[in-house]
Amino acid sequence: MRASVHVYNDESDVDALTGALTVRRGAPALISSGARADTIVVGAGIHGASTAWHLAQRGVNVVQLDRFPDGHGQGSSHGHLRMIRRAYPNPIWDDLVDRAYLAWAELSAAAGAPLLTTVGGLYARPAADGTPGLRGPGCETVTAERAARIFPGLSLGAEFAAVYDPAAGVLDAAAAMRSLRELGLAHGVDRRTGVLVEGWEPDGEGVVVRTADGVLRADRLVIAAGPWTGSLVPALAGLLTPTRIVNVHVGASDPARVSAPALGPFSVEVPGVGLLYGLPAFGGAAVKIGLDHGPVDDLGPQTPVTADEAARLLALARRFLPAADGDVVDSVACRYTMAPRNRFAVGALPGTPQVLVAAACSGHGFKFGPAIGAALADLVLGKERADLDFLAPAALGAPE
Ligand SMILES: Cc1cc2nc3c(=O)[nH]c(=O)nc-3n(C[C@H](O)[C@H](O)[C@H](O)COP(=O)(O)OP(=O)(O)OC[C@H]3O[C@@H](n4cnc5c(N)ncnc54)[C@H](O)[C@@H]3O)c2cc1C
């Protein structure tokens, strides 16, 4: 054992020493570097990965941490497809929806592959329901009869009406997540998986991030922890509800009848059941469906879709998708993070401007990922984004 004398100049020296002494075998030498990041991003789902890429493109030194390995199925961003739509219940979302479409075009260009395929969408509910439904630029209300001509693959009873959104489309979610990972790495993101962030504290104008493997310091921290946001942002914990959501993929003897143009993204408000949503077969032979609600999730290890859960969805497919006449060929369990009024929390935390959050789910956050990543990069770099005030963390839970 060799002994030597060291002179400690500052905290990072102490970090380097303790790091050298505590690095777990095989664990990334987080702290031994003593490096101070410009920005630490917690989470590599669609919001964390988008933020890391946008920051790195602007020359920011980013360390990105995720507790699970790449491609894991424990959070909210896994799975093959997602839907994007212009039809939204409240015009307050319109500007962000516009930015979402632009951001997908930017990401597709950077990825060199079309990640968004526009095929139109139908959003149905009982015609007698007089409450305001979805609306948006270019959207129109159609009868069930007209809806059947638009999507012969969707069978709505005469008691339904629908909103047709010509700009709705299918997002290749799996390819988007791969591209964001690769683009982030190509721009120098220091991406570390298998690292559990246990907490953080303000450190002057910066922040200290505690992980199971040690401590890191940075000027800014972005928390994009999905269903686990409440554990890292106690102020939001009471407003965010992790929710189990399951999807099944149902086969079809004639895949063309459940693929675009015969079918596009859709949803149906089914009385007594809830909101059924679905995506057409896309590069395959099965249509994907799910219900927009589920039980509160305890965030334990994800469990497979049960036979009862699958049977319930299959029965709905039989009712609304006559051409989906096959079996359940695949299923996926996933998690929403529900917030009041299906809103998001995006921006700096009150009292700690160096710490920003993107709790942007409520079952509809994926489409906004690249745009929210760009917005968080703006905010980290001190650019005002008044357009996001309606999603300010302090506004979450506030009455309308
Ligand atoms: C079945 C399903 C269908 C959906 N369909 C649509 C759709 O069609 N259109 C749409 O727009 N949206 C849709 N959504 C919603 C959308 O997928 C989510 O809003 C979005 O993926 C949320 O991404 P995120 O980055 O916030 O969270 P996540 O993807 O969950 O990422 C959070 C990451 O943080 C990591 N993490 C958490 N805590 C820690 C910690 N302490 N230390 C280190 N790492 C940590 C996790 O490992 C995880 O990787 C759907 C969601 C589900 C579940």
How far apart are the CA of 343 and the centre of ligand 1, in A?
A: 15
Q: Is 210 in the pocket of ligand 1 (CB under 6 A)?
A: no
> How many CB atoms are closer than 10 A to CB 255?
18
* Residue-level pLDDT at 130: 81
Q: Is 226 in the pocket of ligand 1 (CB under 6 A)?
A: yes
Q: Whose CA is nearest to atom 40 of ligand 1?
A: 197
How far apart are the CA of 46 and the centre of ligand 1, in A?
A: 7
- Residue keyed to tokens 């959104």: 165
pLDDT-derived band at 3, boundaries 50, 70, 90: very low
Q: Enumerate residues 6+ apart whose C-beta is below 8 A from 28.
A: 192, 194, 195, 213
* Residue-level pLDDT at 28: 45
Q: Enumerate residues 6+ apart whose C-beta is below 8 A from 34.
A: 12, 13, 15, 16, 19
How far apart are the CA of 226 and the centre of ligand 1, in A?
A: 5
Q: Is 76 in the pocket of ligand 1 (CB under 6 A)?
A: yes
Q: Whose CA is nearest to atom 20 of ligand 1?
A: 366
How far apart are the CA of 372 and the centre of ligand 1, in A?
A: 13
Rounded to an integer, the average pLDDT of 307-329 is: 97
How far apart CA 141 and CA 118 sit, in angstroms, is 19
* Residue-level pLDDT at 193: 98
Portions of the chain given CATH number 3.50.50.60: 11-75+175-239+343-396
Rounded to an integer, the average pLDDT of 171-187 is: 98
CATH superfamily of 121-166+241-338: D-Amino Acid Oxidase, subunit A, domain 2 (3.30.9.10)
Ligand 1 pocket check: which of 210, 366, 372, 391 to mutate, most ligand atoms within 8 Å of Cβ? 366
Check whether domain 11-75+175-239+343-396 has CATH 3.10.20.740, yes or no = no
- pTM of the model as a whole: 0.92
Mean pLDDT of the chain: 92
pLDDT-derived band at 310, boundaries 50, 70, 90: very high
How far apart are the CA of 28 and the centre of ligand 1, in A?
A: 24
* Residue-level pLDDT at 164: 98
Q: Is 245 in the pocket of ligand 1 (CB under 6 A)?
A: yes
Q: Is 364 in the pocket of ligand 1 (CB under 6 A)?
A: yes
| Residue 392 one-letter amino acid | A
Percent of the chain with pLDDT over 90: 87
Q: Whose CA is nearest to atom 50 of ligand 1?
A: 363
* Ligand 1 atom having least distance to the Cα of 83: 8
Per-residue pLDDT of 107-154, as tens digits, reads 999 999 999 999 999 999 999 888 888 999 999 999 999 999 999 999
Q: What are phi and psi of 305, to 5 degrees?
A: -65, 135
Q: Whose CA is nearest to atom 2 of ligand 1?
A: 334
Per the CB < 8 A criterion, the answer to whether 329 and 286 are in contact is yes
Portions of the chain given CATH number 3.30.9.10: 121-166+241-338
Percent of the chain with pLDDT over 70: 91
pLDDT-derived band at 1, boundaries 50, 70, 90: very low
Per-residue pLDDT of 240-286, as tens digits, reads 999 999 999 999 999 999 999 999 999 999 999 999 999 999 887 89
Per the CB < 8 A criterion, the answer to whether 122 and 163 are in contact is yes
How far apart CA 321 and CA 188 sit, in angstroms, is 46
How far apart CA 56 and CA 41 sit, in angstroms, is 11
Q: Is 63 in the pocket of ligand 1 (CB under 6 A)?
A: no
